[in-house]
C-alpha cells in the first residue's frame, strides 16, 4: 500500500464514520458498518486507528477542522466583545447544522478528559478574552471569562440539539447575560429598549393592560430588528 493510497483509505474511513454519526446523532455506530461503508476490512481500520476510540478521536478532530475552518473565514471586527458574540452565534449555528459532530466534540463527557482538538477552539476564545482584558473591559480574569462563555455556549447549543429546534431568543438571552457577567455591564443601562420594556412591564396601570402589552410587543419587535 503506497503512502497516498494509505492516506486515502484513512480519510475514507473517517468520512464514512462521520456520515454514519451525522445520520444518527447520539447513537452507537458499529465498526463493521464503518468498514462496509468505506469498502475495507476490519483489520484495515485497526491498522489506521488502533481501536474504536482512535477512530472517534479522528472524527472529532475532523469535526473541529470543519468548525474552525468556518471561524477562520470570519472577519474580526476589531472589538473583542463583539467578536465573542459572533463566535457564540457561529458555535450555535455549527452545532445545529452538524449535530452528529457536535455531540462528539462537546457532548461526550469522560471525567478528567477532554478531546485534544478542543484546545484549538478554546485558544481562540481565550485570545478574545485576553484582548478584552487588555482593554480593561472584563471584571474577571481572561481564563474565567473564556470558561463562562464556553460552558454557557455549549449548554445552549446542546439544549437546542436535544430539542431538535433552534431557539435564537434563548441563545441571545444567555449570550448577553454571560457577556454582562464577565464585563460587569448592566444590560438595562446599555440597552434603552430593554429598559423601556422593563419600565412598561412594571407599570401596566399607566397605559392600561392591553395597551401596555401592545407597547411591549412593539418594543420587542423593534429590538429584534436592530443590527447587532
Q: In the structure grid, which three cell numbers stand for residue 62, read together?
A: 475532523
Q: What is the pLDDT of residues 31-46, one digit of tens each?
A: 999 999 999 999 999 9
Which ranges of the chain would DSSP assign to H, the alpha helix? 3-23, 31-38, 42-49, 52-72, 80-97, 99-106, 118-134, 142-163, 168-183, 187-190, 192-202, 204-207, 209-225
The structure's pTM equals 0.71
- Bigger pLDDT: 117 or 12? 12
- Mean pLDDT, residues 74-95: 90
Q: Residue 22: what pLDDT? A: 78
Q: Find the length of the chain.
A: 228
Q: What is the pLDDT of residues 146-179, one digit of tens each?
A: 999 999 999 999 999 989 899 999 999 999 999 9
How does DSSP assign 110-154, residue by residue? BTTB--TTHHHHHHHHHHHHHHHHHTT--SS-HHHHHHHHHHHHH
CA-CA distance, 145 to 188, in Å (whole number)?
21
CA-CA distance, 117 to 46, in Å (whole number)?
21
Q: Is 166 left (phi over 0), alpha (psi -120 to 50) or beta?
A: beta
CA-CA distance, 72 to 68, in Å (whole number)?
6
Q: In the structure grid, which three cell numbers stand for residue 61, read together?
A: 478532530
Closest CA to 171 of 63, 86, 97, 71: 86
Band (pLDDT 50/70/90 cuts) for residue 4 is very low
Q: What is the pLDDT of residues 21-79, one digit of tens each?
A: 878 776 788 999 999 999 999 999 999 999 998 998 898 888 888 888 877 777 778 89
Q: Residue 5: what pLDDT? A: 52
Residue 19 has pLDDT above 50, yes or no: yes
Closest CA to 28 of 36, 16, 20: 20
Q: Residue 3: what pLDDT? A: 40
Amino acid at each position: 500500500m503506497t503512502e497516498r493510497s494509505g492516506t486515502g483509505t484513512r480519510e475514507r474511513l473517517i468520512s464514512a464514520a462521520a456520515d454514519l454519526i451525522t445520520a444518527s446523532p447520539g447513537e452507537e455506530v458499529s465498526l463493521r458498518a464503518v468498514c462496509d461503508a468505506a469498502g475495507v476490512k476490519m483489520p484495515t481500520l485497526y491498522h489506521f486507528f488502533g481501536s474504536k476510540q482512535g477512530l472517534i478521536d479522528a472524527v472529532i478532530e475532523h469535526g473541529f477542522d470543519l468548525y474552525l475552518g468556518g471561524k477562520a473565514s470570519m472577519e474580526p471586527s476589531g472589538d473583542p466583545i463583539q467578536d465573542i458574540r459572533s463566535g457564540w452565534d457561529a458555535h450555535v449555528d455549527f452545532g445545529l447544522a452538524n449535530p452528529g459532530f457536535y455531540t462528539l466534540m462537546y457532548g461526550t463527557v469522560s471525567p478528567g478528559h477532554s478531546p485534544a482538538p478542543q484546545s484549538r477552539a478554546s485558544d481562540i476564545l481565550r485570545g478574545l478574552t485576553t484582548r478584552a482584558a487588555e482593554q480593561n473591559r472584563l471584571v474577571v480574569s481572561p481564563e474565567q471569562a473564556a470558561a463562562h462563555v464556553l460552558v454557557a455556549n455549549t449548554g445552549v447549543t446542546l439544549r437546542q440539539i436535544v430539542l431538535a429546534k433552534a431557539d435564537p431568543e434563548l441563545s441571545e438571552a444567555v449570550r448577553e447575560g454571560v457577556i454582562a457577567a464577565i464585563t460587569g455591564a448592566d444590560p438595562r443601562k446599555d440597552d434603552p429598549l430593554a429598559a423601556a420594556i422593563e419600565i412598561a412591564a412594571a407599570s401596566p396601570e399607566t397605559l392600561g393592560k392591553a395597551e401596555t402589552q401592545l407597547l411591549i410587543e412593539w418594543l420587542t419587535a423593534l429590538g429584534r430588528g436592530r443590527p447587532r
